[in-house]
């Protein structure tokens, strides 16, 4: 990193202060949107998995499991639970709100917004969306909108988390007094995350000296390893500040370095969690629900952090979304039926290719990273995009297309259709 010694901010910051994103998201015993009871997220997840072993289509258990997995930092599992919930009840806003929270937790604020918009269309209130959508706004550098959402969420089940995020957002805006006042109710009831949040508030508002003292008081001897992070923090743009203090995503001089945003924990059964990007969010959930759940509370363990000469992403599966969050980009085959969006049809494949190029040229932001395909059937050719992970993703992107005047509808290919990228037609 330019101007700093080659140390891992992941190891330095999160090993020293205990991982703010982890510590404030999953306190030892608390009540949040993951559970109506005063239990840990791990205990809640174990309870939901047992319920799903009896009834895999238990909507409330799927939503609760997704929220509990999200509180534990396992965005891969959370995405799988929310996707299953959406299949069970596609008219509920809760799965869409959950997927928006997953994207925000992965640092993909732009990818989160279509899910939040869809959840709002389905009836979700600002109180329900505020805690997670506020984080997405913070990551986009829109602190006023973030703070309005957080304040709305203060009356929700995630009130404590919303208050912590509100305090950090106010500090990003330069309101040190307001930020400290925001966490005062949490300090009064002995919230264990307050010392870390307070240290970040001080650092964000330019008081790195007191911030280091606060960190050293909580973790004696840690100041020398944390000080480069705290000193650089005030110089970052607002969105990068939010990513750093909420998710541990800290940029280096070349590209963003993911500073241990989500811990890789062992699942409550023997299902392994890998560090490879997977576009199948449900495969792990299938295995999880197929295994016999342990009757006792699972033990979640965070692996040791290893210093690196150059920070590298430490992420779990499904932590790196594709360029367009709703679409999985891969080479099409005619072997398995997949879900696509049809944009046009006709008998002239080359004309369809030209039509896609015009759409992409006229709407570069929406079609960035999207490949068009021509699907040749016995009766016609179709201009399609995809394939999509599921019906909800296809619906979200169809809504985006409708906003620019493009009508699209869902289409599933058969094994006899020949599907090729438009450039190869």
- CA 133/CA 109 separation, integer angstroms: 9
The 3-state secondary structure of the chain reads CCCCCCCCHHHHHHHHHCCHHHHHHCCCCEEECCEEEEECHHHHHHHHHHHHHHCCCCHHHHHHHHHHHHHCCCHHHHHHHHHHHHHHCCCCCHHHHHHHHHHHHCCCHHHHHHHHHHHHHCCCCHHHHHHHHHHHHHHCCCHHHHHHHHHHHCCCCCHHHHHHHHHHHHHHCCCHHHHHHHHHHHHHCCCCCHHHHHHHHHHHCCCHHHHHHHHHHHCCCCHHHHHHHHHHHHHCCHHHHHHHHHHCEEECCCCEEECCCCCCCCCCCCCCCCCCCCCCCCHHHHHHHHCCCCCCCCCCCCCCCCCCCCCCCCCCCCCCCCCCCCECCCCCCCCCCCEEEEEEEECCHHHHHHHHHHHHHHCHHHHCCCCEEEEECCCCEEEEEEEECCHHHHHHHHHHHHHCCCCCEEEECCCCCEEEEHHHC
- CA 189/CA 167 separation, integer angstroms: 16
- CA 134/CA 162 separation, integer angstroms: 8
CB 411, CB 341: distance < 8 Å: yes
- CA 230/CA 211 separation, integer angstroms: 7
Q: Kindly give the confidence (pLDDT) of every residue in the chain, 425 residues in length, as a single tens digit, with 9 standing for 90 and above.
A: 333 222 233 333 443 433 443 334 444 445 578 888 888 899 999 999 999 999 999 999 999 999 999 999 899 899 999 999 999 999 999 999 999 999 999 999 999 999 999 999 999 999 999 999 999 999 999 999 999 999 999 999 999 999 999 999 999 999 999 999 999 999 888 888 888 899 899 999 988 788 888 877 767 776 667 777 888 888 999 999 999 999 988 876 334 433 333 333 333 433 333 333 333 334 444 444 444 344 444 434 433 433 333 333 333 232 333 333 434 333 444 446 888 898 988 877 778 888 888 888 888 878 877 888 998 887 788 899 988 877 777 777 887 787 778 888 888 888 888 888 886 44
Question: pTM of the full predicted structure?
Answer: 0.60
Total count of residues recorded for the chain: 425
CB 115, CB 136: distance < 8 Å: no
pLDDT tens digits along 241-269: 999 999 988 876 334 433 333 333 333 43
pLDDT tens digits along 163-200: 999 999 999 999 999 999 999 999 888 888 888 899 89
What structural domains and CATH numbers belong to the chain?
9-258 (1.25.40.10), 339-424 (3.30.70.1070)
Beta bridge partners, 375, equal 382, 419
pLDDT tens digits along 398-412: 877 877 788 888 888
Burial of 405 (0-12, 13-18, 19+ CB in 10 A): exposed
- CA 331/CA 343 separation, integer angstroms: 19
CB 244, CB 236: distance < 8 Å: yes
- CA 10/CA 16 separation, integer angstroms: 10
- CA 72/CA 81 separation, integer angstroms: 14
pLDDT of residue 294: 42
pLDDT of residue 423: 65
CA 65 to chain centre: 15
The angle formed by the CA atoms of residues 85, 91 and 95, to the nearest 5 degrees, is 35
CB 124, CB 93: distance < 8 Å: yes
């Amino acid at each position: 990193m330019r101007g700093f010694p080659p140390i891992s901010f992941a190891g330095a910051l999160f090993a020293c202060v205990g991982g703010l994103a982890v510590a404030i998201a999953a306190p030892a015993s608390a009540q949040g949107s993951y559970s109506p009871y005063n239990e840990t997220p791990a205990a809640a997840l174990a309870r939901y998995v047992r319920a799903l072993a009896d009834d895999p289509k238990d909507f409330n258990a799927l939503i609760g499991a997704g929220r509990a997995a999200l509180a534990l930092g396992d965005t891969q599992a959370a995405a799988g639970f929310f996707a299953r919930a959406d299949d069970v009840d596609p008219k509920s806003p809760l799965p869409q709100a959950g997927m928006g929270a997953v994207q925000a937790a992965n640092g993909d604020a732009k990818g989160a917004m279509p899910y939040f918009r869809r959840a709002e269309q389905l009836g979700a209130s600002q109180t329900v969306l505020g805690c997670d959508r506020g984080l997405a706004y913070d990551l986009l550098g829109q602190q006023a909108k973030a703070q309005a959402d957080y304040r709305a969420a203060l009356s929700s089940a995630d009130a404590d988390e919303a208050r912590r995020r509100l305090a950090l957002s106010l500090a990003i805006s330069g309101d040190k007094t307001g930020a400290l006042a925001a966490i005062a109710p949490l300090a009064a009831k002995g919230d264990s995350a307050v010392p870390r949040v307070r240290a970040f508030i001080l650092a964000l508002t330019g008081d790195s000296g007191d911030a280091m003292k606060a960190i050293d008081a909580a973790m004696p001897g840690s100041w020398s390893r944390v000080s480069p992070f705290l000193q650089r923090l005030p110089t970052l743009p607002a969105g990068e500040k939010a990513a750093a203090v909420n998710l541990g995503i800290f940029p280096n001089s070349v590209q963003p370095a993911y500073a241990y945003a989500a811990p890789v924990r062992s699942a409550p059964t023997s299902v392994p969690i890998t560090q490879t990007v997977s576009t199948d969010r449900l495969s792990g959930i299938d295995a999880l629900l197929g295994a016999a759940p342990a009757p006792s509370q699972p033990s979640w363990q965070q692996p040791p952090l290893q210093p690196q000469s150059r920070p590298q992403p430490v992420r779990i599966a499904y932590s790196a979304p594709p360029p367009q969050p709703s679409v999985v980009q891969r080479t099409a085959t005619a072997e398995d039926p997949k879900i696509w969006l049809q944009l046009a049809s006709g008998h002239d494949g080359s004309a369809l290719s030209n039509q896609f190029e015009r759409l992409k040229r006229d709407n570069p932001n929406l079609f960035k990273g999207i490949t068009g395909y021509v699907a040749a059937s016995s009766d016609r050719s179709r201009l399609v995009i995809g394939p999509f992970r599921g019906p909800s993703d296809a619906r979200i992107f169809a809504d985006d297309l409708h906003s620019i005047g493009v009508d699209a509808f869902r289409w599933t290919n058969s094994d006899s259709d020949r599907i090729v990228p438009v450039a190869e037609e």
